[in-house]
Structure 1
Amino acid sequence: PLGQGIANAVGLAMAEARLAAEFNRENFPIVDNYTYALTGDGCLMEGVASEAASLAGHLGLGKLILLYDRNEITIEGSTNLAFTEDVGKRFEAYGWTVQYVADGEDTEAIEKAIDNAKADTAHPSLIIVRTQIAHGTPKANSASAHGEPLGADALKAMREFYQWNEEPFAVPDDVKAYFAQLQQVYSKQHAAYDAMFEDYKKAYPELYEKWLAWHEKKLPNALKKDPRLFSSTEPKATRIVSGELLNIFAEYMPNLFGGSADLAPSNKSELKGKGFFSAENRAGANVHFGIREFAMAAICNGIQLYGGFHAYCATFLVFTDYLKPALRLSAIMRQPVVYVMTHDSIGVGEDGPTHQPIEHLAALRATPGVLVFRPADAKETAYSYMMAFEAEKPSVLALTRQNLPQYAETGEGAFKGGYVMKDTPGGKPDVILMASGSEVELVYKAAEVLEAEGIKARVVSMPCLDLFDEQDAGYQETVLPNSVRARVAVEAATAYSWDRYVGLDGETVCIDHYGASAPAGVLFKEFGFTVENVASAAKKSLAKAKR
């Protein structure tokens, strides 16, 4: 989609710079490439391009070169209809070096501009190349050439213009010979690089071992067994737990690379003592993305695509609205970017409905190829991170602002997305109470209330509905047996995610309207998130199931 490629390129350039700072040594430039991106008028109208270009200029990404194919035509017509700014001046204000090429057919001028751009390693470069859409055809400089086939007549005219007499899809012998010659040149360069890398392995064996570790996709076993991951005993917000876990993970995974959209103190996403990536410090593991959620996510896609890193980004869950198109591309490209999304419900409190996510969990769960985790305590948060960093797809961690209790019963069942956290004696419940995240506390306590009244209740924690849906029918039956039709799902978000689990006789305790500005405790009570209301919903479901 338009604009995102520019942000991806910024991420690629950042990854190159950091990897080079980590591994290059004198006479061993094992990471050394320029990042090129091709763009058009439409790309530069998109806001994400501006966000990313602004950050690239600030970071001084001098090995990033953007070639702007400026034909001044979009689908509706001339760019004069809606896009008349001086793009060059805008990029100069961002801190880019800007060059102009008057004619897109002048390959020598383009080559010279690229050489100039490569010589300036202190600033990213924009090369504005004036072109004509459908050049050499009767449709030249027309909007119809933008999104429609040229057609047989225009193709015939173009062949005459270029004096091209070859058959369709035929490659002339002189063209083949030219590319064969290029292949020989590049093969020699490739062989020279391979030889240099072999010498590097001998000269710096420890760095080579680190290189292999940075490109390993599986987590170290020592990390998975670190007792600190499961040591929390006091009530704690999962965003706080997340911050502690990220820093433990960073001890084993120095290739973590990411940051927050100006919310690190709230998201708890800073890697302590790891420095911040900047024009002066290419070795920093943290990134100040600024208030640029869309660019942040798209840049992380570029970092992840480059290789050698585990990319992550952070903001409030409600602001997934700003970054969703990039998250969708993470999923399409199967890039395991980790999205650390805190302040996950009306528990945000006084910030009010603009900052309280309602529909967001359902929207994210509806996005194919994305894992959405909403852990109930510290252990589930640790398991969620393990799964997220080993996944072959993007993951979202929805984390609380408010403190949550720690449970003895949470455990490795989280790896299956949903599991029986607490069961009745004999394992034959009258009603099943299921929840994710902060609302597990409500169903846990409601089960105790129901048990005191002689109603046997099973408590099911569902930290990741996506993973639970991937389990076989046999496992799902052990957790949610078809014979138990009385069910209640509880989540401080819209009920849309839960219909397939509660069935016709089930009930949901959810919120299908916007929140309000008040302390979190007041809001939860006002909107029905109480133990008493969950127990009442269970009795209502039992009554329906017995009809």
Structure 2
Amino acid sequence: MANKSSSLAKAGKDLDDLCINTIRVLSMDAVQKANSGHPGLPMGAASMAYVLWTRFLRYNPRDPLWPDRDRFVLSAGHGSMLLYSLLHLTGYDLPLDEIKHFRQWGSRTPGHPERGHTPGVEVTTGPLGQGFGNGVGMAIAEAWLAARYNRPDHNLMDHYTYALVSDGDLMEGVAAEAASLAGHLRLGKLIYLYDQNHISLAGATELTFTEDIAQRFEAYGWHTRIVPDGNNTDDVDAALREAQAEKNRPSLLLVRTHIGYGSPHKQDTFHAHGSPLGEEEVAAAKKALGWSTTNSFFLPPEAVTHFRQAVERGAKAQQEWQQRLDAYRTVFPAEAAEWDQVMGGQVSPDAAQLPQWKPSDKPVSTRVAAGQALNALAQHIPNIIGGSADLNPSTNTALKERGDFQPSDGTPATAGAVGGMWSYAGRNIAFGVREHAMGAAVNGMAAHGGVLPFSATFLVFSDYMKPAIRLGALMGLRVIYVFTHDSIALGEDGPTHQPIGQLAGLRAIPGLTVIRPADANEAAEAWAVAVKRNSATLLALTRQNISILDRSRAQDAGVARGGYILSEGEGGNPQVLLIGTGSEVELCVKAQARLRDLGIRVRVVSLPSWKLFAEQESAYREQVLPAAVRKRVTVEAGATLGWERFAGEEGTIIGIDRFGASAPGEETMKRFGFTAERVTAAALRLLGRQEDAAREEAGQHEQGDTSVAATAPTEGHS
């Protein structure tokens, strides 16, 4: 009997080794054929990935979007062939021909994994550390959904989030921020496999990365376990079981691997990191691994059969989950209906009573107005959750009486707990002063599904979030980035906090909808637009109070079309267009009144979103900004870059292309020339009325510092 058990164990190990080497060989063959890519990580990490994907990870290759699947993130996205090999071998819709066209035009195997492009890829990774943060967001989403919908003996949401992270991932600051947050939140169902091969692209990690990583993560509040030999599948298995048993701490498994494992001359060197091994070295590696043939893309049938058991295993797991869902519907019909709504992304602001303001109301900042709109929407959209980078009082993004997303230890909530409730069911997430991790986490939450996440901080700190914002747009995620303090008008905090080029840079990101509302009503509408969008949206909001615009003469009023005629002059076609965004629209309205007194027909256009406006039919855009009206003035308290498309060849752009200054916001705006008089003068000059323009400028100079005002703002023809 003992001999039979020994024989079975040997057969099992032989099959394991064959499957692991299949991952290695398929990966290096694909990289070699493409003559581009990173063979080292797939070869070194193949063993631990094999254990995870065949013994622990719950997934259904025939339904990659099954809601209760485990999530797997390849944070070290450069090792993409590891993931593609696993997806193909386990039965996802990724044919071998796609593997053969790795990194080629039109293939589903791009150089770094892309969400929505390849079945089974959860998030787009490549910039190191982002996947680490995404995984934290996924674990947050899982915990929140479980807390809201699970009931005793009726678990709809109960899965793990796994990631494979590299030395480079852990060097990045975003990973440190995210790890600190995850440890604080006690995300026990978050398990990361650290591919600790001691090699980075340019050399050994001893050149740059020598801290005690296990101790660092233990200090963050993580469970850690060292696996001395990543090729020891039993030890990897045991480490994963220990991690699953750890309920109150995320886990980092430090797995010692060898980059380029099996390559006789390049293993454990940086030469295996980011370049093909070369034909001779590939052949030598196959020989060293005991591979039976030198033919490219050979897949042993017994290995494929073993991997493809994932199809039946996944179907069974999903069927069992579906039975739980059916039983849940019977016992908890109301909760099940809401579950269907949030998991299907079927949220609508239409039922919400959005706040409205009248021109006679007191001025209000768009951050305050947007906060009121957010809370109104949260009453009807149950899965809006999010928070700020320690700035709720400034960004006005606290969801009132919705509780704080915090681990519950049974102790009473402190006075700072919103709504007196601390648990994973709370909808306010305190991200701490961690803008980059916050951006990556809300992306992960959106990618997980079932939640509509938002983040908030000051616009100038979008620089700290830019990589995450870019990836959120690239993935087409339903996520809302809220930014307040949107111009030099924020005042006393000075140039360190006053954004200048941020709007221009953010508008340049493909797929990102940037909205800068002009008053409280536009701010409320901006939120209504944002929750309907199936892509990333960014709101830029004022700190200072601004007047409520009179839209009684507006045409197609509202944010949804990106731009609209706010006020039309009397007496026929306009002679000049005044185009603005945000708080500067009010300057255009005031300038219109001054110009009207001078007998000039003026149209004021509010342009809160360039992207939304660009999405409208050409006839509508021509209606709002007729090509025949070539005298145009654009006004925005930010960089002038990009405004030439609206100013046209004969127009004038009023903006600011230098840093701001510390002073009260109203004073700052005057000193930098953002006044109705300056806008009026610019329009008059376009119409050839130089004397009238000079009189307006004289009024401007009486209000501001002429030495600054004459040079600080940008004003000129596009």
TM-score range, shorter chain: over 0.9
CA distance in 1 between counterparts of 2:391 and 2:319 reads: 46
1:44 equivalent among 146, 149, 170: 170
Q: Residues 266 and 175 (structure 1 numbering): CA distance in 2 closer, same or farther, change over 3 Å?
A: same
Contact 2:162–2:193 (Cα < 8 Å) also in 1: yes
Displacement of 1:144 after TM fit? 1.0
Aligned partner of 1:309 in structure 2 is 451
Aligned equivalents of 2:301 and 2:398: distance in 1? Answer: 57
Aligned to 1:228: 355
Q: Distance in 1 between matches of 2:584 and 2:317?
A: 59
Pairwise CA distance, 1:216: 4.2
Instruction: State yes or no: 1:440 paired with 2:582.
Output: no
| Residue number among 234, 247, 254 corresponding to 1:128 in the alignment | 254
Asked if 1:29 corresponds to 2:174, the answer is no
Question: CA–CA distance in 1 between the matches of 2:312 and 2:628?
Answer: 69
Deviation of 1:202 after TM superposition, in Å, equals 1.1
Per the alignment, residue 365 of structure 1 pairs with: 507
CA, structure 1 residues 369+221, in 2 after alignment: closer, same or farther (shift >3 Å)? closer
Asked if 1:190 is matched to 2:335, the reply is no
Structure 1 residues 396 and 157, CA gap change in structure 2 (3 angstroms): same
Please give the alpha-carbon distance, in whole angstroms, between the structure 2 residues aligned to 1:385 and 1:221.
9
Distance 1:234 1:247, change over 3 A: same
| Bigger Cα displacement from structure 2, 187-196 vs 273-282 | 187-196
Q: Counterpart in 1 of 2:190? A: 64
Q: Deviations over 1:255-310 (max 9, x none)?
A: 11100001110000000101111111110100110000000010000101111111
Correspondence for 1:113: 239
Could you give the per-residue CA deviations for residues 407-460 of structure 1, whole angstroms, max 9, x where no partner exists? Answer: 231664421111111002244011110100100110000000001011111111
Q: Please tell me the root mean square deviation across aligned C-alpha atoms, in Å.
A: 1.5
Shift in Å, 1:180: 3.8
Q: Which of 256, 272, 296 is the equivalent residue of 2:438?
A: 296
SS in structure 1 of the partner of residue 559 of structure 2 = helix
Distance 1:34-1:159 versus aligned 2 partners, 3 A rule = same
Query: 1-side partners of 2:308 and 2:538: how far apart?
Result: 46
Which letter maps to 2:343?
Answer: H
Q: CA deviation at 1:187?
A: 2.4
1:273 aligns with 2:418: no
Q: Does 1:173 align with 2:318?
A: no
Match of 1:346 among 480, 483, 488: 488
Distance 1:231 1:282 in 2: 39
How far 1:195 moved relative to its partner?
Answer: 1.4
Amino acid aligned to 1:493:
G
2:277 is the counterpart of 1:150: yes
Instruction: Give the residue type in structure 1 aligned to 2:170.
Output: L
Whole-Å Cα distance in 2 between the matches of residues 227 and 328 of structure 1? 30
**Residue type matched to 1:144 in 2?**
H
Q: Distance in 1 between matches of 2:309 and 2:623?
A: 64
Q: 2:662 aligns with which of 512, 517, 539?
A: 517
Q: Which residue in the other structure is 1:455 paired with? A: 600
1:200 is displaced (CA, Å) by 1.1
Task: Measure the CA separation in 1 of the matches of 2:189 and 2:596.
Answer: 66
Q: Which residue of 2 aligns with 1:257?
A: 385
Which residue in the other structure is 1:488 paired with?
A: 633
Q: CA deviation at 1:231?
A: 6.6
Per the alignment, residue 520 of structure 2 pairs with 378
8 Å contact 1:419–1:460 — kept in the other structure? yes
Q: Which residue is 1:330 aligned to? A: 472
1:468 Cα deviation from its structure 2 partner = 1.2
- Cα distance in 2 for residues equivalent to 1:165 and 1:270: 62
Distance of 2:518 and 2:351 partners within structure 1: 21
1:460-475 matches, cutoff 5 A: 460-475=605-620
Shift, 1:63, TM fit: 0.5
Contact 1:371 1:395 in 2 (8 A): yes
1:401 corresponds to which residue?
543
User: Residue in 1 aligned with 2:649?
Assistant: 504
Q: Please name the residue that 2:218 is paired with.
A: 92
Supply the distance in 1 between the matched residues of 2:201 and 2:462 (Cα, whole angstroms): 29
- Residue among 567, 591, 597 paired with 1:422: 567
Query: How many Å apart are 1:213 and its aligned residue?
Result: 2.1
Give the Cα–Cα distance (whole angstroms) in 1 for the partners of residues 652 and 310 of structure 2: 68
Q: Tell me whether 1:318 sits opposite 2:445 in the alignment.
A: no
Write out per-residue CA displacement over residues 300-329 of structure 1, whole angstroms, 9 at most, x where no aligned residue.
001011111110000000000000000000
Q: Which amino acid is 2:267 matched to?
A: A
Change over 3 Å in CA distance of 1:493–1:180 after alignment to 2: closer
Range with bigger deviation, 166-175 or 328-337? 166-175
SS at match of 1:2: coil
Residue 472 of structure 1: CA displacement? 2.3
Unaligned runs of 5+ in 1: none
Partner in structure 2 of residue 201 of structure 1: 329
* Distance in structure 2 (CA, Å) of the matches to 1:427 and 1:287: 53
Amino acid at match of 1:388: A
| Contact kept? 1:218, 1:390, Cα under 8 Å | no
Query: In structure 2, how many angstroms separate the alpha carbons of the residues matched to 1:351 and 1:124?
Result: 38
Q: 1:544: how far off?
A: 9.8
2:679 aligned to which of 534, 539, 545: 534
- 1:148-176 CA deviation, whole Å, 9 max, x = no partner? 10111111111111111144222222113
Q: Distance in 1 between matches of 2:308 and 2:462?
A: 48
- Corresponding letter in the other structure for 1:26: P
Identity score, percent = 46
Q: 1:209 to 1:539 in 2, by over 3 A?
A: same
**Conserved in 1, the CA contact under 8 Å of 2:354 and 2:524?**
no
Alpha-carbon distance, 1:227 to partner: 5.4
Residue aligning to 1:75: 201
SS at match of 1:42: helix
Which contiguous aligned blocks of 4+ residues in structure 1 show a shift greater than 4 angstroms?
229-232
Q: Distance in 1 between matches of 2:268 and 2:341?
A: 52
In structure 1, distance between residues paired with 2:346 and 2:142: 22
Q: Distance in 2 between matches of 1:317 and 1:356?
A: 8
TM-superposed CA distance for 1:384, in Å, is: 1.0
Determine which of 688, 713, 716 is the counterpart of 1:543: 688
